[in-house]
Amino acid sequence: MDGTSARLLALAREIAPAYADTPEVVAVLVGGSAARGHADRWSDLELGIVWSAVPAEDARTAAATAAGAVDRRLYSDASLPETWEEDYVIDGVKVDVAHLAVDTVDRVVGDVTERSDPTLAKQVLVSTVRHGLALHGAALLARWQASASAYPDALVRTMVEQHLVFGPHWWLEMLAERDDLPYLYQLLCRVEHSVLGALLGLNRVYPPSASLKWAGWIAGELTVAPPDLSGRLKFVLRAEPRDGVDEARRLIEETVDLVEAHLPSFDTGPVRARLSAPPRPGTGTPSNPPARSTTPAG
């Protein structure tokens, strides 16, 4: 574990008693990059506070006050229903706190590991449990981690189905040739998101964030992946536009190859047909137009 992660964990241990001493709190977990051991100077401390029932606002406020919270802010747009999120500052460090009831964690872990729910926000909670460190309620975390070790076959297929969706190769080439950079890089980011999403499923790895942040860490977790995936993802966005597009094409093709090799029951015919679809010459109108906003890659 790196030094920054260790310092964040030390702070978490100072904060934990303020929550653990609350009778309704059954577990205090450290998540995020600090728990995974690769925090950097930009990292905050992520805490999960698990309550025996829906946490009362005054109990959450009292615990934060006891922890020494400064500049506390509450959020109503939690990524998961029945989650209460807040952040505050302690000793100059931003602390992100998610409060959940124990039955919510039970249900979400079951949704993903037993019922193959592909919702990324739910998978993130399973990833947090899987890599989390318990400062209180270790037995409870151990039970969830035993469940989080599962990755159902149906979820592998669903993740591939949802993410192995790309527009025709010529569309990216056209944007590069036109030097239409804002739209081109928007689509290249969507391509990378789709490549990572399909590979996460193929490797049975739960994502650390719904936005697929920490792409380098994700790439390092994938044993079934194109060679030098992390470096090539960076190259796509750092290279000259045409070179980046060429590399994106190779990554797409290699990802489809891996799906065919490791999930042979999945029909990649429609994907390959779409990738190779030619433009309609002379009209500027695509014979197979790129997907709109509902499609994860362009």
Question: Which SS3 state, helix, strand or coil, does residue 90 take?
Answer: strand
Residue 219 zone, left/alpha/beta (φ > 0; ψ -120 to 50; rest): alpha
Beta pairing, strands 70-75 & 133-136? unpaired
pLDDT over 60 at 298, yes or no? no
Per residue in 67-78, pLDDT (tens digit) is 999 999 998 777
The predicted model gives 202-223 an average pLDDT of: 94
Per residue in 123-171, pLDDT (tens digit) is 999 999 999 999 999 999 999 999 999 999 999 999 999 999 999 999 9
Q: What is the DSSP letter of 54?
A: S
* Residues, the chain: 298
- Going by C-alpha positions, the residue among 160, 183, 199 that lies closest to residue 241 is 183
Q: 136 near 98, Cβ under 8 Å?
A: no
CA distances from 121 to 112, 139, 239 (A): 10, 24, 32
Beta pairing, strands 45-51 & 93-101? parallel
pLDDT over 60 at 288, yes or no? no
Measured in whole angstroms, the distance separating CA 17 from the mean position of its chain's CA atoms is 29
Paired tokens of 76: 């109503």
pLDDT over 60 at 294, yes or no? no
CA distances from 75 to 87, 96, 137, 149, 207 (A): 8, 11, 25, 30, 23
Q: Distance between CA atoms of 39 and 133, rounded to whole angstroms?
A: 14
Cβ contacts of 94 within 8 Å, gap of 6 or more: 44, 45, 87, 88
Per residue in 237-286, pLDDT (tens digit) is 999 999 999 999 999 999 999 999 999 999 999 999 999 999 866 655 44
pTM: 0.90
Token pair 């975390």 is found at: 141
